């Protein structure tokens, strides 16, 4: 696995085709369903991000985090596990139509947050502190964006916050708190809009089960890719710094 080539590929990639395809298919119903579950629910889940850090890991690691290739394989395993869990919950929620669709969105976000946290740990980052919280939010936002130009800018913003040694740029609490609050509001809006539109097909039982499974699996796949990119970038900068030193 050429990690640096994978990093370049992610920077140049576009939002998930599958996600965009499902959204186009269900778009006629999407705007109406956007009022089924208020954005405040998404925001509430996002604000519980730190609590998700203490949840049990999706998988147990047996690799050496200092081995970048082994860390990459472990992170891929995290993403596969998350896709399987989330696809199952999405399929089950689709059987219940619009009501269960609304309940599935917070569950999907919770799994995504655990994926990001576990991916970080796979690369040796425990994720403590306000800078780490903002970093996780940036990763989650990357997974929800469907505008290529905005996505490119968010990638640049994320990379700008990584120091030359792989650690995050330090910021005092008074400065970072409003930034985190802004990120929560922005991501809540993006996830709510994309989730309701892409899940619109879940209002039809049976068909909704298929749509729910596909959409959840696609989203978790995007989360896994964004998380690997972000934490791999930190590791690469750390290793480059060690070599330079």
CB 45 within 8 A of CB 129: no
Instruction: Tell me what pLDDT residue 201 has.
Output: 44
Instruction: Tell me what pLDDT residue 244 has.
Output: 46
Residue 101: both structure tokens together: 């669709």
Task: Give the whole-angstrom CA distance, residue 130 versus residue 162.
Answer: 14
Instruction: Tell me what pLDDT residue 226 has.
Output: 95
Sorted by sequence, the CB contacts under 8 Å of residue 199 that are 6+ apart come out as 26, 33, 101, 104, 105, 211, 212, 215
Instruction: Tell me what pLDDT residue 235 has.
Output: 95
Instruction: Tell me what pLDDT residue 195 has.
Output: 54
Task: Give the whole-angstrom CA distance, residue 124 versus residue 235.
Answer: 9
Task: Give the whole-angstrom CA distance, residue 210 versus residue 201.
Answer: 9
pLDDT per residue as tens digits for the range 2-18: 899 999 999 998 876 55
Instruction: Tell me what pLDDT residue 102 has.
Output: 54
CB 188 within 8 A of CB 46: yes
Provide the 10 A C-beta neighbour count for residue 86.
Answer: 28
Residue showing tokens 């696995």 = 1
Max distance between CA atoms of the chain, in angstroms, equals 60
The pTM assigned to this predicted structure is 0.76
Residue 155's nearest CA partner among 2, 6, 12 is: 12
Instruction: Tell me what pLDDT residue 122 has.
Output: 96
Full pLDDT tens readout for the chain, 245 residues: 789 999 999 999 887 655 444 444 444 444 444 444 455 666 666 666 556 556 677 788 999 999 999 999 999 999 999 888 876 665 444 444 445 455 567 777 788 888 999 999 999 998 887 788 889 888 988 887 878 888 899 999 999 999 989 999 876 555 556 666 666 666 665 565 555 544 444 444 544 455 556 777 788 888 999 999 999 999 999 988 655 44
Instruction: Tell me what pLDDT residue 96 has.
Output: 46
Q: How far is CA 229 from the centre of its chain?
A: 11
Residue 142's nearest CA partner among 1, 10, 236 is: 10
């Amino acid at each position: 696995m050429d990690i640096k080539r994978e990093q370049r590929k992610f920077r140049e990639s576009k939002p998930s085709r599958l996600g965009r395809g499902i959204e186009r298919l269900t778009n006629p119903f999407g705007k109406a369903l956007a009022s089924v579950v208020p954005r405040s629910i998404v925001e509430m889940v996002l604000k519980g991000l730190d609590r998700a850090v203490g949840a049990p890991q999706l998988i147990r690691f047996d690799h050496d985090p200092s081995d970048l290739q082994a860390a990459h394989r472990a992170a891929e395993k995290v993403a596969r596990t998350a896709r399987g869990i989330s696809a199952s919950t999405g399929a089950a929620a689709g059987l219940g139509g619009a009501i269960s669709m609304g309940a599935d969105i917070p569950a999907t976000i919770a799994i995504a947050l655990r994926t990001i946290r576990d991916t970080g740990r796979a690369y040796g980052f425990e994720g403590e502190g306000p800078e780490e919280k903002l970093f996780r939010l940036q990763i989650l936002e990357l997974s929800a964006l469907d505008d290529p130009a905005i996505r490119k800018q968010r990638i640049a913003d994320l990379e700008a916050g990584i120091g030359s040694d792989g650690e995050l740029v330090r910021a005092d609490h008074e400065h970072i708190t409003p930034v985190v609050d802004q990120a929560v509001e922005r991501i809540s809006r993006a996830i709510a809009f994309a989730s309701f539109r892409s899940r619109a097909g879940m209002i039809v039982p049976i068909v909704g089960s298929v749509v729910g499974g596909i959409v959840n699996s696609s989203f978790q796949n995007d989360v896994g890719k964004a998380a690997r990119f972000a934490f791999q970038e930190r590791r690469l900068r750390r290793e480059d710094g060690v070599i330079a030193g």
